[in-house]
Amino acid sequence: MTLLRDHELARAFDHASRSYDRLTAMNPGYHADLRRSARRLRLPRQGAGMHVLDLGCGTGASTRALLRAAPCARITAVDASSGMLQRALAKPWPARVRFLHRNAEEVHAVGEGLFDAVFAAYLFRNVADPDRVLAAVRALLRPGGRLAVHEYSLSGSPVHRGLWTAVCHGVIVPVGTLSGDRALYRHLWRSVLAFDTAPAFEDRLTRTGFTGVRTVPVAGWQTGIVHTFLARNGSAPVPEYAL
């Protein structure tokens, strides 16, 4: 199963950036699910000293979700696609939000131990070496810092695998073809099938050294297809997260 990687994938996102927001808006619950995953970080709403990394920010939907969850936090938003970042930068943002052009493998250069939390939405199935990126994320987090990964990661049930393929063949790939981005949306379909199941990614987080790992499915038609993975950098237990 051939997937787009690295610069090839970044170029595909550059090309797709002009229609990306319109297409994601067609997905029922897309923004609500991002906001729910961001809230599961349990960041203090009055935490003016909090510094949060949005890893793989795209056009800024995940960044906006973080702002809703932690209105006073400083946010550094990072993406490998210059086209997606241009779309994000064209939107209004408070001064405490900054955007950087970096790929996930280069994110260690942002600075070790700087962040209280990391949010990564739709990122890990797109990187060539998830373990390397997770290790870099751990280095970026302060001791006890929190991680939330919002990702297409199938439950392992053949039912959810079949549903994902049916939705891709019936809706996602045809719509992507109309926008001129067939290769990217075929990559989306294939990358989800090739990526870790939810239990496998939970094990990967634990092997990388994260603690208190917990998996929560999203609601609606994407149940069993998209999950929120929650973890900490250190021995402090993850609190009970509101569903």
Parse the chain into domains and list their residue ranges: 7-152+196-232
pLDDT at 237 over 70: no
Helix axes 182-194 and 6-24, enclosed angle (nearest 10):
100
pLDDT at 243 over 60: no
Lowest-pLDDT choice from 9-13, 145-149, 238-242: 238-242
CATH 3.40.50.300 fits 7-152+196-232, yes or no: no
pLDDT at 1: 59
Chain segment 45-64, per-residue pLDDT in tens: 876 789 999 999 999 999 99
Query: What integer is the mean pLDDT of 8-35?
Result: 94
Q: Measuring CA to CA, which residue among 73, 71, 68, 28 is closest to residue 49?
A: 73
Helix locations, 77-129, DSSP H:
82-89
Q: What letter represents residue 36's amino acid?
A: R
Query: What integer is the mean pLDDT of 185-200?
Result: 97
Residue 22 class from Cβ within 10 Å (0-12 exposed, 13-18 middle, 19+ buried)?
exposed
